[in-house]
Amino acid sequence: MASFSKTSSKAGSGVGGGGWAKAKHQSVGGGGSTLERIQQIELEISRTQKNKATAKHLGELKAKLCKLKRDILEPSGGGGGKVAGFEVQRIGDARVGLVGFPSVGKSSLLTALTGVQSEAAAYEFTTLTCIPGVIYYNDVRIQLLDLPGLIVGASIGKGRGRQVIATAKSCDIILMVLDATKDDAQKEMLTKELENVGIRLNRKPPDVTVRPTKGGGLKFQATVPLTHFDEEVCATILRQYKMHNADVLVREDITEDDFIDVIDGNRKYCKCIYVYNKIDMLPLAEVDELARRPSSVVVSVRNKWNYDYLMKRLWDEMEIVRVYTKKKGEFPDFSDPLIITPQRGNKQFNVENAVQLLHKSLLDDFKHALIWGSSVKQSPQACGKDHIVHDEDVLQIVKLTQAEKAKAAHGKKTGTTIAGSNIKVDPKKKDEKSAPKS
Ligand SMILES: Nc1nc2c(ncn2[C@@H]2O[C@H](COP(=O)(O)OP(=O)(O)OP(=O)(O)O)[C@@H](O)[C@H]2O)c(=O)[nH]1
Ligand SMILES: [K+]
Ligand SMILES: [Mg+2]
C-alpha cells in the first residue's frame, strides 16, 4: 500500500490544474478559479441523485473534486504558508490535539489538564498560535496541543485553518472539543473540514489493494458483494488519475469515496474522542444522552467535572504498551518504562521492539528474555525475539555467554545452528541479503 501511494502521488502531480482543464469528459465548466470550480462540482454532486445510472458520473466528479482540493492544499508555487508559533517540537510519547470551533473551551481544558496557562476568554479567537502542554499519566508523557478555533472553510485556508489542520495532522489522537449547549451541526461541520484535508476520524483504511501494472488494462476483483461500487466506477476514477493499467482487489463493501482515498493517498486515519464541554449548562437528561454517544466524553472545565474519565478514555484509545526492565537479581525499574505506541508503528510489539528501544547493540548477544506479566503463561518465562509483549510486562535480558557467542560465530561461518535457538543460518544467503543493491 505504501509503495502504491508513492506511485499515485506521482501520477497525481502530473494531473494538476492544467491537466484537469484539458480532460475530455468534462461536464462542469472548466473556467474560473480553482475555488469556483470546486463550488461548481460540489453543486453538481449535490444535485445528482445517487443511483446505479449516475454512479460512474459521480465517481468522476468526486475524483476531480479531490484533485482540485489537493491543488488548494498543496500549492505548487511553494511559499510555505508557515506561520510563526505553529512549529512546536514534538516531545513525550504521544501527541494529542485539541480541535474545535472558537470558544468551546479548548484553552480552558489545556490549562486544566496540563497546568500550562493558555489564555481563555469569552471572545472568539482568543488563541492564535499552538500552545503545548504535557500531561503525565501512568508514567507516560502525553503532549497536548491547544490550537486556534477552526471555522467553516478552514480546509480551504480560512482563519488559520491550514496551519491548525496541518498541526492536527501531526497528532496521534484528536480531541474534538464541542460546546454541549450547541447543536450537533458543529460536529458534522468540523468533521467535514477535517475530511476535506484527508483526515479520517475513527475509521480504518479501506481494505483495497491497487497495483499499477505496465499493461493489460484494469483487472478488477472483489472478494465480497459490492453494493456501492463496481468495475465501471473504478475504471472511471482511475482514468481521472491517468491510471489505465492496474490490478485492483477490493476486500470490503466500499464506496467511491473510499476508493478515491486509496488512489489519492496521503490520508491520515486518526482516532478521535468527542469531548462535550460546558455540561454545567445542560439539564441532566441531555448530558446523559451525550455521554452515551460513541467515542464521546462529557466534561465541564468550569466545574472540573469528569477529567478522570476523560484521561482514562484517552489512555485506552492510545493503546500504549509499557514494558518495565530489570537487571538480574534486582527489582524492576518501575519509574521509567519502555513505551511503545501503536500510532507510530505496528499494533503488536515483540521483545525485539522493546530491546531495540533500550539499545540496538543489546540484540547482538541476546539469548532470550525472561518475561513476567500477562503475556506469558508462567512468570517468568523465557521468550524469543518474536514474543508479543503486553502492557506492564517486566523484561529481563539474558545474554549469550562467551562460549555460546563463540559457538554462534562458528555456526555462522559453517552454517550450523545458533546457540540458544534452533534457527539455522546459511552464511551464503545472509551475505546475499546484506550485499548492497545497486
Ligand atoms: N459554562 C462553562 N463555560 C466554560 C467552560 N469551559 C470554558 N468556558 C468558557 O468558555 C469561554 C471560552 O473558553 P476558551 O478556553 O477561551 O475557549 P477556546 O476554545 O480556547 O477559544 P478560542 O481560543 O477563542 O478558540 C470562556 O469564557 C470560558 O470561561 C465550562 O465548562 N462551562
Ligand atoms: K475564546
Ligand atoms: Mg483558545
Least confident of 20-29, 134-143, 407-416: 20-29
| pLDDT(277) > 60 | yes
Residue nearest to atom 21 of ligand 1 (CA): 103
Q: Would you say residue 88 lies in a domain?
A: no
Domain match, 125 and 191 both = yes
What mean pLDDT comes out for the span 394-410?
Answer: 88
Decide which of 273 and 87 is more confident. Answer: 273
How far apart are the CA of 63 and the centre of ligand 2, in A? 37
Domain match, 154 and 281 both = yes
Ligand with minimal distance to 303 CA: 1
Q: Which of 99, 103, 164 to mutate to test the pocket of ligand 1 (most atoms within 8 A of CB)?
A: 103
Q: Would you say residue 117 lies in a domain?
A: yes
How far apart are the CA of 159 and the centre of ligand 3, in A? 14
Return the CATH number at 289. 3.40.50.300
Tell me which residue has cell 476520524: 201
Decide which of 19 and 160 is more confident. Answer: 160
Domain match, 185 and 273 both = yes
Residue 72 grid cell? 488548494
Q: Would you say residue 87 lies in a domain?
A: no
Q: Is the CB of 70 under 6 A from ligand 1?
A: no
Give the 3-state DSSP-derived string for the chain, with helices as H, strands as E and coil as C.
Answer: CHHHHHHHHHHHHCCCHHHHHCCCCCCCCCCCCHHHHHHHHHHHHHHCCCCHHHHHHHHHHHHHHHHHHHHHHCCCCCCCCCCCCCCCCCCCCEEEEEECCCCCCHHHHHHHHHCCCCCCCCCCCCCCCCEEEEEEECCEEEEEEECCCCCCCHHHCCCCHHHHHHHHHCCCEEEEEEECCCCCHHHHHHHHHHHHCCEEECCCCCCEEEEECCCCCEEEEECCCCCCCCHHHHHHHHHHCCCCCEEEEECCCCCHHHHHHHHHCCCEEEEEEEEEECHHHCCHHHHHHHHCCCCEEECECCCCECHHHHHHHHHHHHCCEEEEECCCCCCCCCCCCEEECHHHCCCCCEHHHHHHHHCHHHHCCEEEEEEECCCCCCCCEEECCCCECCCCEEEEEEECCHHHHHHHHHHHHHCCECCCCCCECCHHHHHHHHCCCC
For the chain, give the percent of residues with pLDDT over 70.
Answer: 82
Residue 43: how many other CB atoms lie within 10 Å = 11
Report which ligand 1 atom has the smallest distance to the Cα of 299: 31
| pLDDT(355) > 80 | yes
Residue 42 grid cell? 460540489
Ligand with minimal distance to 104 CA: 1
Give the max Cα distance, the chain.
78
Q: Would you say residue 213 lies in a domain?
A: yes
Is the Cβ–Cβ distance between 144 and 132 less than 8 Å?
A: yes
| pLDDT(1) > 80 | no
pLDDT bucket at 53, cuts 50 / 70 / 90: confident
Q: Would you say residue 3 lies in a domain?
A: no
Domain match, 310 and 352 both = no
Residue 3: predicted pLDDT? 34
How far apart are the CA of 298 and the centre of ligand 2, in A? 19
Domain match, 199 and 250 both = no
What mean pLDDT comes out for the span 115-142?
Answer: 93
Whole-number average pLDDT of the chain: 84
Q: Would you say residue 275 lies in a domain?
A: yes
Domain match, 111 and 198 both = yes
| pLDDT(14) > 60 | no
Range of the domain at 413: 403-432
What confidence tens digit (pLDDT) does each residue in 165-201 have?
Answer: 889 999 999 999 999 999 999 999 999 999 988 899 9
Domain match, 307 and 284 both = yes
Of 247, 264, 281, the position where a domain reaches its end is 264
pLDDT bucket at 412, cuts 50 / 70 / 90: low
What mean pLDDT comes out for the span 279-285?
Answer: 97
| Interacting residues of 179 by C-beta distance below 8 A, sequence separation 6+ | 100, 101, 103, 104, 105, 186, 276, 277, 278
**26-35 burial, b if ≥16 CB within 10 A, otherwise e?**
eebeeeeebe
Q: Would you say residue 437 lies in a domain?
A: no
Q: Domain count of the chain?
A: 4
Domain match, 390 and 348 both = yes
pLDDT bucket at 389, cuts 50 / 70 / 90: very high
How far apart are the CA of 91 and the centre of ligand 3, in A? 21
Q: Structure pTM?
A: 0.79
Residue 9: predicted pLDDT? 35
Q: Would you say residue 177 lies in a domain?
A: yes
What confidence tens digit (pLDDT) does each residue in 97-114 have?
Answer: 999 999 999 999 999 999
Q: Which of 281, 301, 305, 307 to mutate to test the pocket of ligand 1 (most atoms within 8 A of CB)?
A: 301
Domain match, 165 and 303 both = yes
Report which ligand 1 atom has the smallest distance to the Cα of 277: 31
Q: What is the ipTM of this complex?
A: 0.99
Report which ligand 1 atom has the smallest distance to the Cα of 301: 31
Domain match, 183 and 244 both = no
Residue nearest to atom 1 of ligand 1 (CA): 278
Domain match, 175 and 285 both = yes
Q: Is the CB of 125 under 6 A from ligand 1?
A: yes
Ligand with minimal distance to 177 CA: 1
Of 75, 14, 3, 87, which is closest to residue 241 (Cα–Cα)? 14
Residue nearest to atom 9 of ligand 1 (CA): 105
Q: Which of 108, 152, 306 to mutate to test the pocket of ligand 1 (most atoms within 8 A of CB)?
A: 108
How far apart are the CA of 117 and the centre of ligand 2, in A? 13
Domain match, 362 and 285 both = no
